[in-house]
Structure 1
Amino acid sequence: MHWKEILRFWFPEGRALEIDIDAHRTHWFWRMQGGADNEIRARFSGITAQAATGALDHWADDPEGRLALIIVLDQFSRSLWRDTPLAFKQDPAALALAIKGLSNGHYAALATPWFKIVYSQPLGHCEGPDHLERLDLLIRLREGIVSEAPDHLEPVYQSLVTQAHEVRRVIATFNRHPHRNSVLGRQSTPEEQAYIAEASFPHLKAFRGDNLM
């Protein structure tokens, strides 16, 4: 399988910047909230398992190949191994790819705002001691994407800036993503239990309500 097939699947909007905002928002819901799970399992389980072993690291020689590899490690892993620790095991590898691409010009070479958003997601997803610093970087990158996005799509990208700020508040409070605790076998603190009970997680709130205003 060529990495271009990953991009064709994950970005139904292609590269056309004149896409309708409602259609674009529908694509984001599909990507971010599990709508693609069944098709990923059917079509991409083998390629995801390969990527997890490092067998596809050569994809990162190309800016869009690096993006495709990040998608497989950061997104397809979550679909293929949902509700198991394996869903998050590839986060450090995806993060390393994203960080490297920020310094070697690959991120800057990406052609669309949605490519850049998906590319940079590991900065917020991967837990670790530098998580807050990475989220500050993610916020700056998303603010830059808002400034570059077509005017009619700006509400979508501004909502993702808001989302990144909300993720930062969660990490500043708990130093991790508490909603993962049960899957990863971690004991939740009383404060985390209260947060989890509310089920108001930033990754579920993008494009809802005031975030689109």
Structure 2
Amino acid sequence: MTFILPIDDILNFWFGDATKSADALKKQAPLWYSGGKDVDLEIRDRFGALFIPASDYYSGRSRGSSTWREASCRELLAAIILFDQFSRNCFRRTARAFAFDRFAINILDVALQQKCPECLHPIECIFLYMPLQHSEDLVRQHLGVAVFEELLERTTAPFVEQVRGSLRHALLHREIIETFGRFPHRNKVLLRQATGAETEYLNDAGKRFGQ
């Protein structure tokens, strides 16, 4: 049986009405940036079973997956949210939180080739671009800053401040990769030996981004 991603379920859960008004955006944003155990549990219960079949599908290993690169922009966005956002909720503070990043970045590459940012709302583009912020590759980080700068230029009220905040985070993520070449807060769960500078950074309230 060919895998079918529940696109509407993912997008409706994640965005709600956030693309429609400032009030709706304000109501939805805590789901994205505050979360908590209850949010993690809900996402795990609703979407946790998708990771294995979705990984097989978007890596080309399962039946019918040879055509996923022709998917709609909505499907590509939903897949990125699964691999890049829900993974961090479902597997928080474990190595699996980052295990699906490679799928997210590959899907983003396809979305950029298809010019998906041109047909998505700026709030949706924030999460379309998020795999770039999560990458430990400096070239990807530079691209992340560039696309958020471009997104800010074309965003209008009442969504400007949300995009501006995302650009600030893109700059912060790039600065960390420029400094350390990786995200120090991932070292423990990925069984990487921390350098002295990384340990000092983490001990001095270095950013952990909820992980």
TM range (shorter): 0.7 to 0.9
User: Residue 4 in 1 paired to residue 5 in 2?
Assistant: no
Residue in 2 that maps onto 1:66: 76
User: Residue 190 in 1 paired to residue 199 in 2?
Assistant: no
User: Residue 44 in 1 paired to residue 47 in 2?
Assistant: yes
Name the aligned partner's letter for residue 125 of structure 2: K
Residue in 2 that maps onto 1:82: 92
1:15 paired residue among 12, 19, 29: 19
- Report the alpha carbon displacement of residue 155 of structure 1 after superposing the two structures with TM: 1.9
TM-score by length of 2: 0.84
- Report the alpha carbon displacement of residue 175 of structure 1 after superposing the two structures with TM: 0.4
Is the 2:135–2:141 Cα contact (8 Å) retained in structure 1?
A: no
SS in 2 for 1:48: helix
Name the aligned partner's letter for residue 50 of structure 2: I
SS in 1 for 2:158: helix
Residue in 2 that maps onto 1:30: 31
Is the 2:91–2:97 Cα contact (8 Å) retained in structure 1?
A: yes
* Number of positions where the alignment pairs a residue of Structure 1 with one of Structure 2: 197
Mapped partners of 1:28, 1:50: distance in 2: 29
SS in 1 for 2:140: helix
1:151-190 aligned at under 5 Å gives the runs 151-190=157-196
Runs (5+) with no aligned partner, structure 2 = none
- Report the alpha carbon displacement of residue 69 of structure 1 after superposing the two structures with TM: 0.5
Mapped partners of 1:59, 1:11: distance in 2: 23
Residue in 2 that maps onto 1:118: 127
Residue in 1 that maps onto 2:103: 93
SS in 1 for 2:22: coil
- RMSD across aligned positions (CA): 2.1
Is the 1:8–1:14 Cα contact (8 Å) retained in structure 2?
A: no
- Report the alpha carbon displacement of residue 59 of structure 1 after superposing the two structures with TM: 5.8
TM-score by length of 1: 0.83
SS in 2 for 1:121: helix
SS in 2 for 1:167: helix
Q: Deviations over 1:130-165 (max 9, x none)?
A: x22211211121122222222233222112111111
Q: Deviations over 1:156-198 (max 9, x none)?
A: 2112111111111100010001101001111111100011112
Residue in 2 that maps onto 1:150: 156
Mapped partners of 1:41, 1:148: distance in 2: 35
Runs (5+) with no aligned partner, structure 1 = 205-213
